Amino acid sequence: MHNMQAILQGPDGNPADLTLVQMAAALRAGLLSSVELVSAFLTRISERNPQIGAFVHVDQQGALAAASAADAAFAEDLDHGPLQGIPVAIKDVIDVAGWPIRWGSSLCEDRIAAQDAPVVEILREQCAVLVGVVATYEMATVGPDASSLYAQPRNPWHADHITGGSSSGSAAAVAGGMVPLALGTDTGGSVRSPAAFCGVVGFKPTFDRFPMEGVMPLSQSLDHIGLLTQTAEDASFAMTAMAGMPVPDGQSEKLRVGFVRNWCDDQTVQYFDKAASDLSLAGASVTLVDLPDYAPLENAACDVLLYEQVRNHWSEISRASDQVGRMLLDTMQAGRGVDDQTYAQGQAVVQDFSRQAEATMAKFDVLILPTTLRPAERFDSFEDGKATWTPMRTIPFNMSGQPAVSVPVGMQDGMPLGLQIVGARHDDMKVLQVAQMFERATDHSCQKPDFRAVELAAFENQ
């Protein structure tokens, strides 16, 4: 409370500098109105978005109207939920009635969503304030691609670097301080990897935790809705609000943490060794554990993803292939080569890994491992539409449907890295509990981009 009041009362006090948890407390304490809060974020969007490019649609009028409604409810002692009056951004694959939800593709350039997705209805029921649409890689697939509908966001830590995807705008908006909460989707790491690259928290809940209706289908076996926030405490708060999940009690027994060191590599392993040490010093019991070789799992999951993606979208893309970006078209062409037998083999690997993961989780409360093995690449690595492999350690947990969160773990060459914390299916809050434990034991989440140093070059189509 003291820090919150200091920010609000300081000479340069800006409510947009509060955490989500602090914002919610300030709103309920009458120290801040939702209109003041939303106005602060709208100002920040106008100042920073031209440099970063996270938002592709801002509903200023609708946001201020929703903020006024939230304030009116507070004035009448009507509490619709923890997110009442809180600004939220929505990824450009999740339907919001009347908004241009275009899947990042010129193929859908004129698309207007007819109705809210159920996950958006959850936000509206709580009187959250929907601010606008944030960018995605085209059809939540690959990028950054200069030939898709709009230019991809720049990383708030350094404008020459990508944000990762496909929830590129969600991560950039949160890391850029333009919104405290953003919804994303995660089919192979599309919430967690951009969170890692942008130095924020990205949480993928248990499979089917949120309904996928009203969300662009990519791969029904792997698709998840997730969320991005500045801190693990904020992610836990948002999940408690959106999913009706109880706040976890204090840990009465020592946490059992399995460290998947065999999924690290020599270039960044020291960051994850240090994270294991930090958790041990915080009271956890940390044990090395091996998971199966990563590459065969990634290959099998990609076969499943591509096969299902082609069946969801090839018919519409094939009729207007000149309206989609080169990267998406190349990916879809590759997916057409995945036959029924290969898909069945991939699904068998998915089932086998899910059984192995369940057996492993019987021995541990959570697993820790890298989110990605490298910080964000530079934009020039993707010139002329060439694909650049970014090594991640995420998609197996889309296969198994386990909850997983990426939290900041340190900086390499001035760019963030992420620690991934994975739990048993349906044990979402345990994952977030350990994330908060790690957050309290370290200062990684306190590090923010220096926006004075963000390049002021015009936002170009990279």
**Residue 205: CB atoms within 10 Å:** 28
Tell me the C-alpha distance between 194 and 295, whole Å: 21
For position 460, what pLDDT does the model report?
Answer: 43
Task: Burial-class residue 25 by CB neighbours within 10 Å (0-12, 13-18, 19+).
Answer: middle
Task: Burial-class residue 155 by CB neighbours within 10 Å (0-12, 13-18, 19+).
Answer: buried
285 assigned to active site: no
166 assigned to active site: yes
190 assigned to active site: yes
Task: Burial-class residue 111 by CB neighbours within 10 Å (0-12, 13-18, 19+).
Answer: middle
Q: Per-domain residue ranges for the chain? A: 10-446
- Nearest 5°: the CA angle 421, 425, 429 is 60
Among 34, 39, 105, 166, which one carries the catalytic annotation?
A: 166
Asked if CATH classification 3.30.70.1050 holds for the domain at 10-446, the reply, yes or no, is no
Among 33, 39, 190, 221, which one carries the catalytic annotation?
A: 190
CB of 419 closer than 8 Å to CB of 370: yes
For position 383, what pLDDT does the model report?
Answer: 80
Among 34, 39, 91, 354, which one carries the catalytic annotation?
A: 91
33-44: b (≥16 Cβ within 10 Å) or e: bbbbbbbbbbeb
Strand partners, 161: 378
Tell me the C-alpha distance between 145 and 17, whole Å: 32
For position 459, what pLDDT does the model report?
Answer: 39
- β-pairing, 224-229 vs 181-186, is antiparallel
Instruction: Kindly compute the dihedral angle of the four CA atoms of residues 394, 396, 397, 399, in this order, to the nearest 10 degrees.
Output: 140
Sheet strands side by side (includes 366-370): 55-58, 129-134, 87-91, 181-186, 224-229, 201-204, 404-412, 415-423, 366-370, 256-259, 285-288
Per-residue pLDDT of the chain (462 residues; tens, 9 = 90+): 556 666 675 556 899 999 999 999 999 999 999 999 999 999 999 999 999 999 999 999 999 999 999 999 999 999 999 999 999 999 999 999 999 999 999 999 999 999 999 999 999 999 999 999 999 999 999 999 989 999 999 999 999 999 999 999 999 999 999 999 999 999 999 999 999 999 999 999 999 999 999 999 999 999 999 999 999 999 999 999 999 887 665 555 789 999 999 999 999 999 999 999 999 999 999 999 999 999 999 999 999 999 999 999 999 999 999 999 999 999 999 999 999 999 999 999 999 999 999 999 999 999 999 999 999 999 998 887 666 778 999 999 999 999 999 999 999 999 999 999 999 999 999 999 999 999 999 999 999 999 875 434 433 433
The model's pTM: 0.95
Tell me the C-alpha distance between 95 and 81, whole Å: 22
Which amino acid does the sequence have at 187?
A: T
Tell me the C-alpha distance between 203 and 233, whole Å: 12
For position 290, what pLDDT does the model report?
Answer: 97
- β-pairing, 201-204 vs 404-412, is antiparallel
For position 452, what pLDDT does the model report?
Answer: 73
